[in-house]
A = this chain, B = another copy of it.
Amino acid sequence: VGAPELAARLAELVGPVNVLVDDDVRTGFDRDWTGTWQGRSLAVVRPGTTEEVAAVVRCCAEAGVAVVPQGGNTGLVGGAVPSGGSVLLSTTRLRRLDPVDPVSSQVTVGAGVSIAQLHAHAGEAGLAYGVDWGARDSATVGGSVATNAGGLRVLRYGDTRAQLRGLEWVTASGQVVTRLDGLVKDNTGPFLPALLAGSEGTLGVITAARLQLVPQLPERVTALVAVDGIAEAVQVVARVRASTPSLEAAELVLRDGIDLVTGHLGLGLPFDRVPEAAVLLECADRHDPTEDLATALAGCPEVLDAAVATEPGPAAALWRLREAHTEVLASLGPPLKLDVSVAPDRLAPFTADLLAALAERVPASRPVLFGHIGDGNVHVNVLGVDPLDHDVAGLVLGVVARHRGSISAEHGIGRAKREWLHLTRSPAEIELLRAIKAALDPKGLLNPGVLFPG
């Protein structure tokens, strides 16, 4: 089947206006937003219903053409960029937005609903969605499940998989699997939605999700805590966490990064001197959690100094120190960026080994680390090197592997990291993943070239 004929068949299924073949129009879908990853699709197809998704997948399967699912296209590892000769299936028209069920605190939404829309929808019902991250305006629910998105509040609410109460998806053969009843207890075999979470479009095309919502917590306190180093920061988080269930975020910044954002952006620091490390803590509760947090911090001998904010303005100023890292690094770079995690008690030795290895083997490099310390999640940014430098990336990921960490904490494997998957997963586990892939997609038509090593 040639591309024009396939496009014509797809147009019959979803309407001509929803099959994009124009080169310029497709380009916005065929490359990721950073411009790092790009491919070339035969066509971009935008089904508007689950049945249309199934029909598109069946049509492509009959033609032996691969399907690359794409949500908001906010990914960072090339997981939604088409391989050559494939059809890009955009899920953004799947905008189902069911009423919130107040009894179960759950909601069913289409794959194309953005995370920001989901937040707003939950908010109108007096509830909240537990997962949140910067790309919320563009990122979609379908993409968030396919990549098992994490973000700012994993510490409290877990990742996207933990919110999943049901899923609807289309299999490689074009069958619809609907499991959206939202039963909290249902022990009738393995919960397949949990398998689809993080499968990056390789096991099915997600069309809708049933998600757990959480209570709105109006009372909030934010603290920036100065400590002598990473090990001390980890201790503070562990102590606060054990005594303060309202802890919602724990972010780490280090002296190098603090110097950058205070120097380049003129941000003030609420301490007399620049500490080796600082931890940003945020608690949210129905009661004012300020006293809880203060009590917890008073029990931490590692705390050198602390600034506490209970009002939105001062709290935002504390957050700004952490969030400004990304823009300062972008203005000085672009840096090589790697998103990794290690067990919290390994953060300090991992960081020491990483800095030593970079200093020795890449003397021109200037590493800046920060991240979600509560989850052991470190965003490794390296200035002074090519942002796509393969050897530096391999060097960093090798140090991660030696500390038994994950080579991708949040962003996924995509095309970017599949050659390094063996650093995180054992041969036995990769064999199981391949067996499952072969069983669920025997012709390899769902997102080929993503996740699995070639």
Contacts and interface: CB of A to CB of B under 8 A. Distances in A.
Given A292-B286, A428-B176, A429-B192, A147 B187 contact: yes
Interface in A358-385: 372, 374-377
Interface in A150-182: 150, 154-155, 158-159, 161-162, 171, 175-179, 181-182
B195 A190 contact: yes
Interface in A278-334: 285-287, 292
A107 to B, nearest CB: 13
A186 B421 contact: no
Nearest 8 CB-CB pairs, A to B? A439-B439, A186-B406, A194-B194, A185-B409, A435-B439, A184-B375, A175-B428, A103-B238
Given A176-B428, A343-B181, A428-B177, A190 B408 contact: no
B177 A432 contact: yes
Interface stretch (A20-28, A42-50, A240-248, A260-268): A240-248
A148 interface: yes
20 contacts: A101-B343, A103-B235, A104-B344, A159-B185, A161-B191, A175-B428, A183-B341, A184-B377, A185-B376, A186-B341, A186-B424, A187-B198, A187-B411, A188-B424, A190-B198, A190-B199, A191-B197, A194-B197, A286-B292, A435-B439
Contacts of A421: 188-189
Interface string A233-259: 011011001111100000000000000
Interface in A96-110: 101-105
A221 interface: no
Contact of A341 (B184, B405, B425, B428): B184
A277 interface: no
Interface of A: 101-105, 126-127, 147-148, 150, 154-155, 158-159, 161-162, 171, 175-179, 181-192, 194-200, 203, 215, 217, 234-235, 237-238, 241-245, 285-287, 292, 341-345, 372, 374-377, 404-413, 417, 421, 424-426, 428-429, 431-433, 435-436, 438-440, 451
Nearest to A158: B162
Contact of A342 (B101, B147, B183, B376): B183
Specify how many copies of this chain sit in the oligomer.
Answer: 2
A179 B177 CA distance: 29
B426 A177 contact: yes
Contacts of A155: 184
A171 B428 CA distance: 9
Contacts of A345: 101, 103-104
